[in-house]
Amino acid sequence: MILEPLLPPSPGPSVPAPLLTELTALYASNHEFHTLSGDFPDPHDIRPEQVAAALTEEWALPGVDVLLARSFGRLIGIAITLAHHPDPSDPDPWIGLLMVDASLHGQGHGRRLASLVEDRFRAADRRAVRLAVLADNPKALAFWTALGYEVIDHREDVQLKRPCAVLRKDLTTP
């Protein structure tokens, strides 16, 4: 698996159509998550323009990286990270989204993608990473805790005020 940054489009054309088609298929495959998150009006009918708008919203935030995970040339996942949380008292970077094509769940791709994201933060000399899991998503909570993340707080997310568990993982130990 390789990670490649997806840079925001410069003024003019948006994400190239073939890539947007790949991204839309990735997002659409995860309708169970999108049903929980409410990020799209109809999680069973996610459209390219909605994915493009979601990415544009992400890129509007300072310090956001959109990372595409490919295996043998196929887009299999995406990670969206934040260098700094909007709360200035929070010193850690965040994983805002980590999503693997649903047809590949249970094959270790999510673990590998999470590990590559953690390695990027370690290389940037970051000491820990945080993320939020929706309170009604026990599968995600089990995934992240199995990777060594610990619940440190319960609160609402910043954008949509959904109840979440906040998790943190120390990156200073292998």
CATH of the domain at 34: 3.40.630.30
Please determine, for residue 116, whether its predicted confidence score (pLDDT) is greater than 90: yes
Domain region containing 9: 2-170
Instruction: Provide the number of structural domains found in the chain.
Output: 1
At residue 30, the pLDDT reads 93
At residue 151, the pLDDT reads 97
Please determine, for residue 20, whether its predicted confidence score (pLDDT) is greater than 60: yes
Mean pLDDT of 68-80: 96
Distance CA 48, CA 21 (A): 7
At residue 127, the pLDDT reads 94
Please determine, for residue 12, whether its predicted confidence score (pLDDT) is greater than 80: no
Residue with tokens 């707080």: 153
At residue 174, the pLDDT reads 60
Please determine, for residue 45, whether its predicted confidence score (pLDDT) is greater than 80: yes
